[in-house]
Amino acid sequence: MIWRVDGTKHPGPRRDWHSWLHFTLQVKNANRDVPFRVWQGDRYVQIGRWRIAEIDDNHMSIASGLTSDIYRGDGTVHPGPRWDFTAWEREHKQSADCFEKKDVGK
């Protein structure tokens, strides 16, 4: 599955648009300018420009600007794109458990 910034989804399986090549190149060449950042915040994990978040006790979402998917506790999936059920209003913080590009490969 590919989730785009505009909230749309593009199903697989696919052989393109995967992150394995980018990660491998980063480890081999630390000077490569490919964004690789992981943060945590108030009930979310952010990978690059994407947040995977617990919205409340019954909802989780995947969003990058627009919300792409909402997962409910009853197992149902509610597709986007949509503007609600996002964690982008929550404050970002970096912790010792998170890392940025300069730490990759250490």
> Which pLDDT score, from 0 to 100, does residue 54 have?
95
The alpha helices in the chain, defined as continuous H runs, are: 20-28
Residue that the structure tokens 């909230």 belong to: 7
> Which pLDDT score, from 0 to 100, does residue 104 have?
45
**Hey, what amino acid is at 77?**
V
Find the largest Cα–Cα distance for the chain: 45
The token pair that represents 56 in the structure block: 């409340």
Q: What is the pLDDT along the chain (106 residues), one digit of tens a residue?
A: 888 888 888 888 877 776 655 554 444 445 444 445 778 888 998 888 889 999 999 999 999 888 999 999 999 999 999 999 988 888 766 554 555 544 444 4
> Which pLDDT score, from 0 to 100, does residue 78 have?
94
The structural domains of the chain, with segments of one domain joined by +, span 2-103
Dist. CA 58–CA 73, nearest whole Å: 5
> Which pLDDT score, from 0 to 100, does residue 95 have?
52
The model's pTM is 0.63
Q: Which residues pair with 80 in a beta bridge?
A: none
